[in-house]
Amino acid sequence: MVVVMAPDATAEDVAHVVERVESVGGQAFVSQGVDRTIIGLIGDVDSFHGLNLRAMAGVAGVHRISDPFKLVSRQHHPDRSVVRVGKPGAQVSIGPETFTLIAGPCAVESAEQTSEAATMAKAAGAAMIRGGAFKPRTSPYAFQGLGVEGLEILARVGEDVGLPVVTEVVDARDVPMVCEYADMLQIGTRNMGNFGLLQAVGEVDKPVLLKRGMTATIEEWLMAAEYVAQRGNLEIVLCERGIRTHEPATRNTLDISAVPVVQADSHLPVIVDPSHAAGRRDLVVPLSRAAIGVGSDGVIVDVHPDPEVALCDGPQALHGTDLRALAQAVRQLPPMVGRSPAAPA
């Protein structure tokens, strides 16, 4: 941390800051410039926060140099992590060497629909299947998901197609139950700041797919990941799914630059959800290509055997020609950026 003193700060003000820093075991290095004095602090940043240095006489500003997140930061873990999902022997690796396609229905609606969507996903090159059983909808009148029945269907379909499954958990009390069915727990955009839920998934032995809150900064998103990691679970994959902006042409604005920004700041894998970002089928393949090009570790997309009758997010679900175009993109483009398409081990 660096304390910048105001131009009119006195020698006593500077001495007082040094004294406070040393009182909590820190070291303070004073550097006197022509106009201003700067004090560099070395020691436990958390204990410096308690000093309320910003409020002291003569202090113009206090600036952090290291990341506020620690466990997920790349500063302390320079190698990018690989997160393994699924049962031993059939695991999928999400990380810097591979490109992972996750696909499936937005919501599990029935055994037939989920099975057909999973078969389509696998044929397109998916290494994992997605499907929501608990749907946190904007409207309380919209389809809320099949709940436990949906989890049973998803787990069975995953076994049938031989791929791990990811599904959303919306309530901390449901975490142990969802763990019985899912290979990976998804935290949706609306729950990124639900710290009780983040802590609950931090305490179980399942990888977590943490979506970015639709109004969250990258730092807030990484702090949410830190909540999970701090409880002991470092098997976290981040997912950029678009943020709220003034632009109404797409449901959200895909923040594609978040991918390399996150990869510079955190060792965690990061994937992109172009379906929920755009809300439009015609943009899913172009945005998936962009995700591959920018260095994303994967994409997660909605597919549906009959999008016109989908109970959730039909307008963005891929089928037919679009799905074939996606399959071609995930086969051809990752090798051009030094990755192999991920397949179950």
Nearest-approach distance from CB 191 to ligand PEP, in angstroms? 8
From residue 286 to residue 325, the character string flagging contacts with Mn ion as x (rule: CB under 5 A) and all else as - is: ---------------------------x------------
158 contributes a contact to ligand PEP by CB under 6 A: no
211 contributes a contact to ligand PEP by CB under 6 A: yes
Nearer to ligand PEP, 39 or 258 (CB): 258
106 contributes a contact to ligand PEP by CB under 6 A: yes
189 contributes a contact to ligand PEP by CB under 6 A: yes
274 contributes a contact to ligand PEP by CB under 6 A: no
Nearest-approach distance from CB 133 to ligand PEP, in angstroms? 10
251 contributes a contact to ligand PEP by CB under 6 A: no
CB under 8 Å to 25, separation ≥6 — which residues?
A: 43, 44, 47
> Which residues is 101 bridged to in the sheet?
299
Confirm if 272 and 239 have CB atoms less than 8 A apart: yes
Count of residues touching ligand PEP (by CB under 6 A): 9
From residue 228 to residue 247, the character string flagging contacts with ligand PEP as x (rule: CB under 6 A) and all else as - is: -------------x------
166 contributes a contact to Mn ion by CB under 5 A: no
Binding partner selected for residue 304 from ligand PEP, Mn ion, none, CB under the kind-specific 5 to 8 Å limit: none
168 contributes a contact to Mn ion by CB under 5 A: no
From residue 118 to residue 137, the character string flagging contacts with ligand PEP as x (rule: CB under 6 A) and all else as - is: --------------x-----
281 contributes a contact to ligand PEP by CB under 6 A: no
339 contributes a contact to ligand PEP by CB under 6 A: no
Count of residues touching Mn ion (by CB under 5 A): 2
Binding partner selected for residue 211 from ligand PEP, Mn ion, none, CB under the kind-specific 5 to 8 Å limit: ligand PEP
276 contributes a contact to ligand PEP by CB under 6 A: yes
Write out the binding residues for ligand PEP, residues 25-84 only, by CB under 6 A. Answer: none
Confirm if 266 and 221 have CB atoms less than 8 A apart: no
Q: Which chain residues interact with ligand PEP by CB under 6 A?
A: 106, 132, 168, 188-189, 211, 241, 273, 276
Q: Which chain residues interact with Mn ion by CB under 5 A?
A: 106, 313
